[in-house]
């Protein structure tokens, strides 16, 4: 059964259309890599799903219910959490505060500050430090931890490896593996195609705001995905508008 369904969503910034007629369906427990070049509309699509950006057309269905009109903070309660691009921690709050404020009206689930610190041991000594003083990798871990504190059924990860040292990227992906194993549905936006495909079961490729390739990761060769990524030629798949 699909946990998330995006139906013909258009999203724009003023006159600039960032997402055009995107439809996709993500099953419960699936890990979806959302790839594409800069400006393909990936971040905007995630923000539409999380409720931070109001689409100009189309609808978002989560767990069978239309959530298009539900504000972002209530979607968190339904089980949608976004790790935003660039971490976006609250810089003046400590690591512990950044974690503990998340989730609003507590959702059922068992994530606690202590458990987050357990899966990200590097944060343990930083617990009472202000987020602004953390390294990039530590900030990313805190940002993921903050999203986990919302006890998500659907975790949206936007560019988690951007600007991180290779070692920090490896650590972040290692902890993601654990999450994926535990059955959380994950949508991961990533520039690094190889990295994304190591964890993803399905892949969606966007180009100029539209989906140009969609399906099981194993069903497409690396070359096919790369071609779709750069819009080299119409890829096999759905909804091409190249």
Partner 1 sequence: MNWVNVLVQGVLLGGFYALLACGLSLMFGVMRIINLAHGDIAVIGAYLIWVLVNQTSIPPWLAALLVLPIMWVAGYAMYVLLLERSRRAGQLVPLLTTFGLAIVIENVLLQVFSPDDHSLLSSTGTLATSSISFGGLSISIFGILTLATAVVVLTGLQLFLSRTTSGRQMRATAEDPDIAELVGINARAVYAKATAIAVAIGALGGIFLAIRQTFNPFTGPTQLIFAFEAVVIGGFGSPWGTLLGGIVLGVAQVIGAQVNPQYFVLFGHLVFLAVLASPRVGLLSRRVHAL
- Residues 212 and 153: their CA atoms lie apart, in Å, by 26
The least CB distance from residue 222 to partner 1, in Å, is: 33
Q: Does 150 help bind partner 1 (rule: CB under 8 A)?
A: yes
Interface with partner 1, residue 82, by CB under 8 A:
yes
Three-state SS at 213: strand
Which residues are 9's β-sheet partners?
22
R_g of the chain, CA atoms, integer Å? 17
Please report whether residue 197 would count as binding partner 1 according to CB under 8 A. no
Tell me whether residue 82 or residue 187 sits nearer to partner 1 (CB atom): 82
CB of 92 to partner 1, least distance (A): 5
Task: Determine, following the binding rule CB under 8 A, whether residue 54 of this chain makes contact with partner 1.
Answer: no
Q: Applying CB under 8 A, does 90 fall inside the site for partner 1?
A: yes
Per-residue binder mask for partner 1 (CB under 8 A), 31-50, x = binder:
-------------------x
Q: Maximum Cα–Cα distance for the chain, whole Å?
A: 52
Contacts of 22 by beta carbon, 8 Å cutoff, 6+ apart: 6, 8, 9, 10, 41, 45, 58, 206, 209, 210, 211, 239
Contact residues: partner 1, CB under 8 A: 50-52, 71-73, 76-77, 81-82, 84, 88, 90-93, 97-98, 100-105, 107, 146-147, 149-150
């Amino acid at each position: 059964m699909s946990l998330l369904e995006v139906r013909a969503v258009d999203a724009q910034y003023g006159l600039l259309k960032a997402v055009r007629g995107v439809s996709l369906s993500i099953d419960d427990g699936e890990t979806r890599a959302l790839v594409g070049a800069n400006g393909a509309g990936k971040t905007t699509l995630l923000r539409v799903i999380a409720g931070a950006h109001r689409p100009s057309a189309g609808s978002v269905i989560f767990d069978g219910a239309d959530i298009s009109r539900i504000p972002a903070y209530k979607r968190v309660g339904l089980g949608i959490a976004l790790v935003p691009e660039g971490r976006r921690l609250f810089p003046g709050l400590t690591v512990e505060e950044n974690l503990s404020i998340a989730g609003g009206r507590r959702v059922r689930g068992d994530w606690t500050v202590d458990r987050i610190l357990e899966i990200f041991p590097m944060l343990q000594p930083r617990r009472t430090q202000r987020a602004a003083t953390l390294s990039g990798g530590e900030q990313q871990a805190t940002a993921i931890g903050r999203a986990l504190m919302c006890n998500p059924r659907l975790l949206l990860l936007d560019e988690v490896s951007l600007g991180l040292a290779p070692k920090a990227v490896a650590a972040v992906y290692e902890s993601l593996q654990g999450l994926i194993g535990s059955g959380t549905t994950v949508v991961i936006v990533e520039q690094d195609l190889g990295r994304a495909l190591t964890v993803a079961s399905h892949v969606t490729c966007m180009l100029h705001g539209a989906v140009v390739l969609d399906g099981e990761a194993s069903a497409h060769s690396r070359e096919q995905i790369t071609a779709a990524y750069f819009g080299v030629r119409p890829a096999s798949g759905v909804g091409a508008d190249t």
